[in-house]
């Protein structure tokens, strides 16, 4: 059955920039090989903690920028507000597009005030957490309520967007409309008519369903990285995103 196209999609984002590839590899050579393989199939790259600890994070970021790519620094900054602000200022100097902060209102506000042209994304609830995990962490609510609470507070202190499961995007759009960018990990495309892969992600969704719900950007890692042909896998996800967007008038 064909999924309906969304009427809650934010305009102005180029279709091919909506796919963010999680470049989670251990070293610069592995990253370069993947970037070369993917070519123009990927425009936006997420660089996380694994690459950061390789020692070549900013070298890779500079190389991607020279190739005209966009960069999402997924470092989930969490420290006292002054330290978070200093870290954000350092990242902004590297012409990073997005940066994640995983903290309270004070940390988020400090990041928002120091961001320059960079966009600050507040982490709501990690997509690897299920309800049992949230209970263990002491949250007295379900994932959807937690995401909405954190999103409204992030908006109030000046953040540009949130990271959340695509499962919560419909509620986010109803609550804050397009005031916040929504970046959704836990995307598991159906490739070759197979079911989405099972791994440590708990709250997963397909690209078509996430876009139809109003997601702005989709973060995909393993389904591309571990594919026999990463470029073909990326192009198929790009196709699924494009066909889920409203047709131009």
Residue 80 lies in a domain: yes
Nearest to 222 by CA among 47, 76, 30, 21: 21
Residue 246 lies in a domain: no
Question: So what's the pLDDT on residue 135?
Answer: 46
Q: What is the pLDDT of residues 22-53, one digit of tens each?
A: 999 999 999 999 999 999 999 999 999 999 99
**143: three-class secondary structure by DSSP:** helix
Question: So what's the pLDDT on residue 140?
Answer: 47
Residue 11 lies in a domain: no
Q: For the chain, how many structural domains are there in total?
A: 1
Q: What is the CATH number of the domain that holds 206?
A: 3.20.20.70
| 53 contacts 80 by C-beta, under 8 angstroms | no
DSSP state of 6: P
Residue 7 lies in a domain: no
Nearest to 37 by CA among 191, 234, 194: 234
pTM as predicted: 0.86
Residue 185: CA count within 13 A, CB half-sphere: 24
Residue 248 lies in a domain: no
| 75 contacts 99 by C-beta, under 8 angstroms | yes
- The active-site residue, picked from 5, 76, 109, 115, is 76
- The full length of the chain comes to 249
| 64 contacts 35 by C-beta, under 8 angstroms | yes
Residue 9 lies in a domain: no
- Could you tell me what percentage of the chain is helix, strand and coil, using 3-state DSSP and rounding each to the nearest 5? 45, 15, 40
Residues in the chain where the model's pLDDT stays below 50: 1-6, 129, 133-138, 140, 192-203, 249
The answer to whether residue 115 is catalytic is: no
Beta-ladder partners of 161: 121, 181
Question: So what's the pLDDT on residue 141?
Answer: 53
**192: three-class secondary structure by DSSP:** coil
Measured CA to CA, the distance from residue 248 to residue 246 in angstroms comes to 6
Pairing of strands 44-47, 19-22: parallel
Interior/surface letters 45-81, b for 16+ CB within 10 angstroms, e for the rest:
bbbbeebeebebbeebbeebeeeebbbbbbbbbeeeb
Residue 104's domain spans which residues? 16-241
Residue 46 lies in a domain: yes
């Amino acid at each position: 059955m064909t999924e309906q196209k969304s009427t809650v999609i934010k305009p102005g984002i180029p279709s091919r920039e909506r796919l963010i590839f999680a470049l989670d590899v251990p070293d610069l050579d592995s990253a370069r090989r993947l970037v070369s393989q993917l070519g123009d199939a990927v425009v936006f790259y997420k660089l996380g903690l694994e690459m950061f600890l390789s020692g070549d994070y900013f070298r890779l970021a500079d190389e991607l920028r020279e190739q005209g790519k966009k960069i999402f620094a997924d470092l989930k900054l969490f420290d006292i507000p002054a330290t978070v602000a200093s870290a954000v200022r350092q990242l902004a100097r590297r012409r990073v597009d997005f940066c994640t902060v995983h903290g309270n209102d004070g940390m988020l506000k400090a990041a928002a005030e120091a961001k320059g042209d960079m966009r600050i994304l507040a982490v709501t609830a990690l997509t690897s957490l299920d309800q049992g995990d949230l209970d263990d962490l002491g949250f007295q609510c379900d994932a959807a309520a937690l995401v909405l609470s954190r999103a409204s507070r992030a908006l109030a202190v000046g953040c540009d967007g949130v990271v959340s499961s695509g499962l919560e995007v419909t509620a986010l759009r109803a609550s804050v409309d397009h005031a916040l960018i929504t970046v959704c990990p836990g995307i598991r495309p159906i490739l070759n008519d197979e079911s989405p892969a099972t791994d440590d992600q708990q709250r997963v969704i397909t690209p078509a369903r996430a876009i139809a719900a109003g997601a702005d950007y989709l973060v995909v890692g393993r389904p591309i990285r571990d594919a026999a042909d990463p470029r073909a896998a990326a192009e198929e996800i790009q196709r699924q995103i494009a066909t889920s967007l409203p047709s131009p008038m």
